[in-house]
Amino acid sequence: MKVAIACDHAGFELKDYLKDKLNGRNVEVIDYGTNGPESVDYPDFGHKVCNDVENGTVDFGILICGTANGMAMTANKRAHIRCGLCWSPEIAALTKQHNNANVIAIPARFVSNEEGWKITDAYMQASFEGGRHQNRIDKIPCG
């Protein structure tokens, strides 16, 4: 499995924690930064992850910022990205099961590192259910 991950200045500690946990599961991680507390513009980092997801070079993406809203908004502007804002393991599982999300956004200022891992793991363990959910997903794109 291969995953792309990125964050802004509010999420670099959670990003590094998740990266270590993923590496421990033999998941290849592409880290697009950022790597410190200096203020950065989250879209610059989020788009790099989304490029990899859209190109099929990774299985899914993880985006982290303070509230996860900015990263999710950035990701969901792209035609082939379905990004779910995940603040609990249950939401993470459902965003995969019902929405077939290919990117998750985690709010670093509102979850602990351990909870961030539980969110990531729940998403990874879930499977898309298809059926009626596919009909709804087909109606998401505009134009």
Q: What is the CATH number of the domain that holds 6?
A: 3.40.1400.10
Catalytic-residue membership of 133: no
The predicted pLDDT at position 143 comes to 63
pLDDT, position 142: 79
Per-residue model confidence as pLDDT tens digits over 65-98: 999 999 999 999 998 999 999 999 999 999 999 9
Residue 92 domain flag? yes
Q: What is the pLDDT of residue 139?
A: 87
On the CB side of 30, CA atoms within 13 Å amount to 17
The catalytic position among 65, 80, 86, 142 is: 65
Per-residue CA distances from 94 to 46, 119, 122, 127, 143 (Å): 22, 11, 9, 9, 26
Q: Is the pLDDT of residue 8 over 80?
A: yes
Counting beta carbons within 10 angstroms of the beta carbon of residue 140, is it exposed (0 to 12), middle (13 to 18) or buried (19 or more)?
exposed
pLDDT at residue 41, as a whole number: 95
Q: pLDDT at position 30, please?
A: 98
Residue 21 domain-assigned (yes or no): yes
The answer to whether position 121 is within a domain reads: yes
Residue span of the structural domain in which 119 resides: 2-138
* Cα–Cα distance list, 90 to 22, 37, 125 (Å): 19, 29, 11
Residue 65 in domain: yes
Active site residue 65: yes
pLDDT in tens, 103-141: 999 999 999 999 999 999 999 999 999 888 999 998 888
Is residue 143 included in any domain, yes or no?
no
Give tens-digit pLDDT for 40-73. 999 999 999 999 999 999 999 999 999 999 999 9
Number of domains comprising the chain? 1
